[in-house]
């Protein structure tokens, strides 16, 4: 689990080109000191060492907690100098070895990151991750120590400094032996004039917001498993910086438009009338890992826009609310959120009603009971309208009481009709502790900064001084800074096609629509001579993803033992879509044969089987086995293990016959069984007990164990297999509940 911290940012095509550059005799004869700013996990330094560069002449730098901790350990210095705190206290390092200290910190980052998620998302899955991280802490830390020591060994003698790329370059401008290779970051956000809803219910241009300002936000992910709904909340801005970036204008069907960066994430729904598949999709849509473009999606409008009313009537009504008004916000009740003024029937109450209706509010008028029968109540009961009234009339007393209500309600879904480039614009890159905000009335994800290491303030440290790097103008400024330098500077840049910061020496089609990944340099002629000309790598083929033809089972949808169960063949796009949705990680393309299990018309799980190995076993004596390549399922509120249903169905010959093509039907008849491979931190997968035999267990350097399971093929039909799974799963849940009662834990 924590090994993902070491995932590098240098992708394979760039790594191959950098290898050619670093191995070039012309470069090696002229430059001996390698500099890697914005180093991440220092993949460039590691690559250079493998090609014979002397690590004692290398200088590394970065400004993130992970990279600074790793760099400090590589340099052989104690991490005590970073002044790290855990929950407000000095970090409890229990070793003097810098690599062991780094491993301890890395493990705790992952623990606290998940604890932060758990604090706002009550999830059995996340709780299980935290439990496993803590239970296997010594194993995880040992593995992380091993990884850190290996990298420190490769880069033994390298120097490290916590500084930004501009300061690093400034130090080496006059060094004729220095080669700098920078992998600079990119950012995403709104154009500076677009407005964000603040906690005091003002719509403020994002360019005016500062660190510490509070805003109205919502849960980044669905926190309430039992009900499947996000909650509104107050969030704090933790970072706010101005820069320039390529932008687009996103236009909606109601005439609204928002200017944002090409990779700004919106919370959208592909369907107009359901809320079953809300997801974050960037302005560039399918450019990255998104299954669909933004155009055609439905944006979630949570609030109307307003400006504080300045009229005499508005001021008078504000005073009425402060004097005789009431804001109802009963905890735990989504429906109990209303703004009321109470008065005896007469001209004063009539005036209140007139002003409200002139501002477009729908009000309810009710009389009190008993001794209060002559007191009438004038109420606004809609959540969005109550919020608008508070922001519009701004009664000081009631504004001070405001807290977002339980649940996250929207006014409407509005279809996005176009995304058009508008060129370079000033943007405000904003990070919040919730990861979200309301921009121009719509639900959005924030720009993010070091999100992988966001522990919600649980881990803190003394950051080095730096300025956020502007991904567009910043590379141009770097090249200008190095124009007359004696050092050679090479920087990566993702830029609009044909518009890199300087003459490119390398280009590749990127995942972002309308953009390429480039390497640019302050001396292109020298570098082109060294590597033999401009290198162009063809654009990577993105796995096609398309929404399935059937709805997906919701976490709280009931399952019946006598349900209608059917097998539905998936095309590759549908299979890739479901794997991305269920697994939330990078996966291979669709299997040779992929199927969904429909339970009462909804997708309960999906799996993929490859029959071709039956014809081509790895040796003449090897058994002829089909391969279960993957099996995934949506989460269940009742912790039902639907993934096992996919495995159990794949083990039945009738299932394979239904999935087989005419060319592979013979393979079903010849198959002697089925096998699957799993990578896990556990020495076995308990769910497979009695289902498949553990044929082989190997220690894996990253995942813990590589497990190979094999099983025989049965002859049960789909309905019978489903009922066997149902009975098996019910027994498992009963035993789990029994164990929970005994131990008093969940």
At 283, the pLDDT band (50, 70, 90 cuts) reads confident
Burial of 653 (0-12, 13-18, 19+ CB in 10 A): middle
Distance CA 667, CA 162 (A): 59
pLDDT at 149: 94
Candidates 690, 681, 692, 680; CA nearest to 727 is: 690
Distance CA 143, CA 151 (A): 13
**Of 193-197, 449-453, 728-732, which gets the smallest average pLDDT?**
449-453
Where are any strands of DSSP class E within 213-301? 214-218, 232-252, 257-261, 265-269, 279-282, 298-301
pLDDT at 9: 53
* pLDDT over 90 at 300, yes or no: yes
Contact 404, 199 (CB under 8 A): no
Helix or strand (DSSP H, E) at 721: helix 718-743
Distance CA 83, CA 107 (A): 17
- Model pLDDT for residues 127-168, shown as the tens digit of each residue: 777 888 899 899 889 989 998 999 999 999 999 999 989 999
Tell how far CA 616 is from the center of its chain.
39
Collapsed DSSP state (helix, strand, coil) of residue 398: helix
* pLDDT over 90 at 83, yes or no: yes
Q: Which tops the pLDDT comparison, 669 or 84?
A: 84
State the helix-helix crossing angle for 524-531 and 12-23, rounded to 10 degrees. 90
- Model pLDDT for residues 542-573, shown as the tens digit of each residue: 445 677 888 888 888 888 888 889 998 888 77
Where are any strands of DSSP class E within 193-344? 195-197, 203-205, 214-218, 232-252, 257-261, 265-269, 279-282, 298-301, 325-329, 337-344
Candidates 503, 592, 602, 471; CA nearest to 549 is: 602
DSSP 519-567: EEES-HHHHHHHHTS-EEEPPPPPPP----SSPBPPTT----TT--EEE
Distances (CA, A) of 120 to 126, 232, 435: 11, 11, 11
Paired tokens of 402: 């405001």
- Model pLDDT for residues 190-205, shown as the tens digit of each residue: 788 899 999 999 999 9
Distance CA 259, CA 266 (A): 12
* pLDDT over 90 at 274, yes or no: no
At 106, the pLDDT band (50, 70, 90 cuts) reads very high
Contact 2, 106 (CB under 8 A): yes
The residues with which 203 forms a beta bridge, in sequence order, are: 197
pLDDT at 585: 39
* Gyration radius of the chain's alpha carbons: 29
Helix, strand, coil shares of the chain, percent, nearest 5, are: 35, 30, 40
At 591, the pLDDT band (50, 70, 90 cuts) reads very low
pLDDT at 286: 44
Q: Which of 440-444, 455-459, 499-503, 607-611 has the highest mean pLDDT?
A: 440-444
Candidates 1, 41, 3; CA nearest to 145 is: 3
Candidates 606, 573, 574, 572; CA nearest to 592 is: 572
Q: Which tops the pLDDT comparison, 514 or 243?
A: 243
Distance CA 611, CA 594 (A): 11
Q: What are phi and psi of 274, to 5 degrees?
A: -130, 165
- Model pLDDT for residues 456-500, shown as the tens digit of each residue: 678 889 888 877 666 667 888 899 999 999 999 999 887 777 788
Candidates 65, 64, 18, 70; CA nearest to 44 is: 18
Q: What are phi and psi of 534, to 5 degrees?
A: -65, 135
DSSP assignment letter at 393:
H
Q: Which of 111-120, 251-260, 400-409 has the highest mean pLDDT?
A: 251-260
DSSP assignment letter at 468:
P
User: What pTM does this model have?
Assistant: 0.51
pLDDT at 682: 79
Contact 412, 301 (CB under 8 A): yes
Contact 144, 454 (CB under 8 A): no
pLDDT at 745: 46
Q: Which tops the pLDDT comparison, 726 or 574?
A: 726
Distances (CA, A) of 622 to 666, 677, 714, 742: 18, 16, 20, 46
- Model pLDDT for residues 8-48, shown as the tens digit of each residue: 556 667 778 898 899 999 999 999 999 999 888 898 999 99
pLDDT at 10: 62
* pLDDT over 90 at 393, yes or no: yes
Residues 6+ apart with CB under 8 A from 251: 257, 416, 417, 418, 419, 420
pLDDT at 222: 66
At 618, the pLDDT band (50, 70, 90 cuts) reads low
Say how many residues make up the chain.
746
Mean pLDDT score of the chain = 82
């Amino acid at each position: 689990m924590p090994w993902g911290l070491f995932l590098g940012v240098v992708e394979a095509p760039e790594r191959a080109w950098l290898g050619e550059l670093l191995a070039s005799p012309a470069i090696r004869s002229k430059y001996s000191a390698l500099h890697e700013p914005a180093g991440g996990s220092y993949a460039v330094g590691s690559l250079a060492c493998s090609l014979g560069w002397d690590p004692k002449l290398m200088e590394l730098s970065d400004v993130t907690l992970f990279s600074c901790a790793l760099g400090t350990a590589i340099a052989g210095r104690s991490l005590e100098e970073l002044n790290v705190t855990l929950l407000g206290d000095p970090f409890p390092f229990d070793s003097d070895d810098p690599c062991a200290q780094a491993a301890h910190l890395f493990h705790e980052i992952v623990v606290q990151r998940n604890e932060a998620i758990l604090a706002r998302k009550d999830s059995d899955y996340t709780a299980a991750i935290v439990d496993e991280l803590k239970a296997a802490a010594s194993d995880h830390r040992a593995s992380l120590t091993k990884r850190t020591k290996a990298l420190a060994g490769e880069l033994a003698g390298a120097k490290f400094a916590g500084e930004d790329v501009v300061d690093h370059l400034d130090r080496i401008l006059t060094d004729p032996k220095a080669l700098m290779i920078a992998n600079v970051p990119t950012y995403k956000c709104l154009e500076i004039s677009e407005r964000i809803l603040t906690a005091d219910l003002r719509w403020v241009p994002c360019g005016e917001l500062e660190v510490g300002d509070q805003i109205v936000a919502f849960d980044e992910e669905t926190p309430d498993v039992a009900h499947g709904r996000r909650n509104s909340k107050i969030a704090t801005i933790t970072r706010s910086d101005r820069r320039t970036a390529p932008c687009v204008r996103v236009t909606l069907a109601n005439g609204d438009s928002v200017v944002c960066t090409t990779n700004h994430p919106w919370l959208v729904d592909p369907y107009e009338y359901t809320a079953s598949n809300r997801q974050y999709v960037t302005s560039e849509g399918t450019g990255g890992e998104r299954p669909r473009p933004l155009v055609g999606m439905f944006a979630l409008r949570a609030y109307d826009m307003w400006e504080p009313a300045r009229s005499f009537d508005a001021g008078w009504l504000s005073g009425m609310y402060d004097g005789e008004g009431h804001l109802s916000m009963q905890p735990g009740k989504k429906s109990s959120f209303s703004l009321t003024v109470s008065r005896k029937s007469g001209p004063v109450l009539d005036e209140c009603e007139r002003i409200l209706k002139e501002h477009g509010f729908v009000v309810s008028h009710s009389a009190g009971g008993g001794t209060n029968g002559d007191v009438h109540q004038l109420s606004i009961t809609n959540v969005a309208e109550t919020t608008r009234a508070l922001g519009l009339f701004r009664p000081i007393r009631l504004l001070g009481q405001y807290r977002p209500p339980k649940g996250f309600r929207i006014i409407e879904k509005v279809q996005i009709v176009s995304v058009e480039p508008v060129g370079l614009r000033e943007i405000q890159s904003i990070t919040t502790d919730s990861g979200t905000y309301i921009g121009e009335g719509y639900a959005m994800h924030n720009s993010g900064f070091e999100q992988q290491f966001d522990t919600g303030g649980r881990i803190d440290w003394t950051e080095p001084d730096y300025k956020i790097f502007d991904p567009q103008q910043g590379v141009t400024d770097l090249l200008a800074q190095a124009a007359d330098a004696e050092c050679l500077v090479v920087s990566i840049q993702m830029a609009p096609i044909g518009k890199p910061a300087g003459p490119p020496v390398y280009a590749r089609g990127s995942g972002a629509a309308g953009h390429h990944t480039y390497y640019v340099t302050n001396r292109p002629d020298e570098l082109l001579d060294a590597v033999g000309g401009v290198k162009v790598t063809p654009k990577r083929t993105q796995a096609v993803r398309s929404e399935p033809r059937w709805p997906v089972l919701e976490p709280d949808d009931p399952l019946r033992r006598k349900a209608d169960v059917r097998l539905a063949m998936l095309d590759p796009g549908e299979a890739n879509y479901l794997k991305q949705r269920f697994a939330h990680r990078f996966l291979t393309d669709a299997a040779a044969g992929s199927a969904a299990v429909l339970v009462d018309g909804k997708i309960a799980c999906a799996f993929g089987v490859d029959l071709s190995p039956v014809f081509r076993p790895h040796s003449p004596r090897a058994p002829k086995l089909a391969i279960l390549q993957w099996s995934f399922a949506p989460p269940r509120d009742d912790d039902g293990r639907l993934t096992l249903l996919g495995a159990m169905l794949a083990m039945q010959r009738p299932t394979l016959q239904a999935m087989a093509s005419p060319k592979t039907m013979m393979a079903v008849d010849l198959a002697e069984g089925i096998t699957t491979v799993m990578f896990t931190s556990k020495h076995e997968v308990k769910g497979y007990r009695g289902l498949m035999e553990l044929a082989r267990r190997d220690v894996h350097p990253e995942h813990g164990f590589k497990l190979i399971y094999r099983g025989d093929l049965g002859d049960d039909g789909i309905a019978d297999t489903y009922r066997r799974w149902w009975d098996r799963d019910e027994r498992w849940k009963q035993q789990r509940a029994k164990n929970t009662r005994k131990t008093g834990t969940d």
